[in-house]
């Protein structure tokens, strides 16, 4: 799928469940982990993974263990049907974003009572694989007061995944058992995980998008990982305050000399005239904006979209850079602006959401963002192939983990694993 970094002191491995369109899988691979397995249920997302060189397995077949450079096996379908015993002791990182609809404001929000809840499958995979680290990404809705008791239960389950919930037992009953064990029972350090969670905004990690999520990290306790070191490595390196300072100093406008003066003046109306005293945390790089994404931070600019008639052509050689007509804006359905990070890319329940995929142009007109522009907002590389019609491609992106956000955490995991093992 993507070329893995060779920065780690040994060959690191990973497994990705609920892989979707591949955002977190790419991030983990870029951090140096060799993927041993992908699993995904959605038909279009599976097509995307296959288009990016994942190797589909025959139904009922035990996937092979790929060597570095070989494509990762892809098991399509229900994760409940996969036996992970063949991977026991082989996996450094188990990663995944369990389906978020049970906890999302945009879904029905049934939580534990929702059949789409993917966390029980993550816990079974942990019991069978015994990975060194688990990385889970999910919606910030998990931290809502109404779900906080259940979220704390998830963390306790992740701490003691081998203490299974009994058949017919409620999560509240199981939670009481876990609480007692964590407080007063000695558990084999190989079967216990230290768990922490981090509310994050992807914009603080160089993603040109406001995207609030929660990331859970679990290190197996016998590894002796340095948590202080890990948390230092995942400190955000971008800020809104730094973006405002770049606009006040002129550095942002120098990067975008094409911006009309009247647009610049209008943007500056919303920038604080007098900077507050910046803390060390705010002395970061500027948040990246939608304009930065389209112009290309680390690559070539995307050409302007002039035709909005769904013509199947690829501007400037970029795939999925196709104009789309009939964009509307109205109260509650407001567009993205170019000189801020984009709004959260959402998957949508009944198709592509409106305001999150519309942008306001310098001349005052507006249009839908192309799939390729949206992929850049998610920090997907331009050569990443997305399968299906436009709505399905946008849904895959809305469900994904931005690559730069995932890579920041996966790279920190790789570093502290290396350091912990070198210290032994």
Q: What is the mean pLDDT of the chain?
A: 89
Task: Reply yes or no on whether the pLDDT at 200 is more than 90.
Answer: yes
Residue 214 CA to chain centroid, in angstroms?
10
Domain boundaries, the chain: 12-236+401-422, 240-282, 283-399
pTM: 0.92
What sign results for the dihedral spanned by CA atoms 302, 306, 307, 313? Answer: negative
pLDDT (tens digit, 9 = 90+) per residue, 399-415?
Answer: 999 999 999 999 999 99
Catalytic residue among 46, 57, 100, 136: 100
Note the pLDDT of residue 283: 72
Note the pLDDT of residue 279: 64
Note the pLDDT of residue 106: 44
Q: Distance between CA 285 and CA 408 in Å, rounded?
A: 15
For residues 94-111, give the mean pLDDT: 60
DSSP string, 8-19: SSS-EEEEEES-
Which option is the CATH number for 283-399: 3.30.420, 3.90.120, 3.30.70, 3.10.450? 3.90.120
Q: Distance between CA 424 and CA 420 in Å, rounded?
A: 7
Q: Are 79 and 121 in contact (CB under 8 A)?
A: yes
Per-residue confidence at 109, pLDDT binned at 50, 70, 90? very low
Element (H, E) at 94: strand 93-96
Note the pLDDT of residue 277: 63
Per-residue confidence at 114, pLDDT binned at 50, 70, 90? very low
Task: Reply yes or no on whether the pLDDT at 266 is more than 60.
Answer: yes
Instruction: Using alpha carbons, select from 349, 404, 380 the residue that is nearest to residue 137.
Output: 404
Strand 358-360 vs strand 366-368: parallel, antiparallel, or unpaired? antiparallel
For the domain 12-236+401-422, what is the CATH superfamily, name and number? Vaccinia Virus protein VP39 (3.40.50.150)
Q: Distance between CA 398 and CA 378 in Å, rounded?
A: 8
**Cα atoms in the 13 Å half-sphere on the side-chain side of 8:** 25
Active site residue 100: yes
Note the pLDDT of residue 270: 93
Whole-angstrom Cα Rg for the chain: 22
For residues 252-270, give the mean pLDDT: 95
Q: Are 32 and 4 in contact (CB under 8 A)?
A: yes
């Amino acid at each position: 799928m993507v070329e893995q970094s060779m920065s780690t002191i040994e060959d690191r491995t990973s497994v990705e469940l609920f892989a979707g369109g591949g955002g977190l899988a790419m991030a983990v691979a870029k951090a140096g982990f060799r993927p041993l397995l992908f699993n995904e249920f959605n038909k279009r997302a599976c097509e995307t993974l296959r288009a990016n060189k994942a190797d589909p397995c025959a139904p009922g077949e035990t996937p092979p263990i790929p060597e570095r450079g070989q494509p990762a096996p892809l098991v399509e379908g229900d994760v409940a049907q996969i036996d992970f015993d063949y991977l026991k002791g082989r996996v450094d990182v188990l990663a995944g974003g369990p389906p978020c609809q049970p906890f999302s404001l945009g879904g029905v929000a049934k939580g534990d009572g929702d059949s789409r809840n993917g966390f029980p499958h993550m816990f079974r995979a942990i019991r069978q694989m015994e990975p060194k680290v688990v990385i889970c990404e999910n919606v910030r809705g998990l931290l809502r007061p109404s779900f906080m008791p259940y979220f704390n239960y998830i963390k306790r389950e992740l701490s003691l995944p081998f203490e299974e919930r009994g058949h017919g037992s409620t999560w509240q009953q199981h939670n009481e058992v876990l609480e007692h064990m964590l407080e007063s029972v000695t558990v084999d350090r190989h079967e216990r995980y230290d768990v922490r969670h981090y509310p994050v905004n992807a914009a603080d990690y160089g993603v040109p998008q406001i995207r609030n999520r929660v990331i859970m990290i679990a290190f197996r306790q016998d590894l002796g990982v340095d948590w202080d070191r890990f948390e230092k490595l995942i400190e955000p390196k971008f800020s809104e305050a730094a973006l405002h300072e770049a606009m006040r100093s002129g550095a942002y406008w120098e990067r975008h000399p094409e911006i009309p003066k009247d647009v610049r003046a209008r943007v500056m109306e919303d920038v604080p005239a007098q900077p507050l005293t910046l803390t060390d945390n705010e002395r970061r790089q500027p948040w990246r904006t939608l304009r930065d994404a389209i112009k290309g931070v680390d690559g070539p600019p995307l050409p302007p979209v002039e035709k909005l008639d769904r013509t199947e052509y690829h501007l400037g050689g970029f795939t999925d850079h196709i104009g789309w007509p009939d964009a509307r804006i109205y109260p509650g359905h407001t567009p993205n602006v170019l000189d801020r990070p984009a709004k959260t890319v959402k998957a949508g329940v009944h198709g592509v959401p409106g305001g999150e995929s519309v942008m306001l142009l310098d001349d005052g007109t507006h249009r839908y963002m192309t799939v390729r522009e949206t992929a850049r907002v998610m920090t997907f590389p331009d050569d990443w192939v997305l399968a299906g019609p436009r709505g399905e491609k946008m849904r895959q992106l809305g469900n994904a983990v931005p690559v730069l956000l995932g890579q920041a955490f996966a790279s920190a995991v790789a570093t502290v694993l290396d350091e912990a093992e070198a210290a032994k």
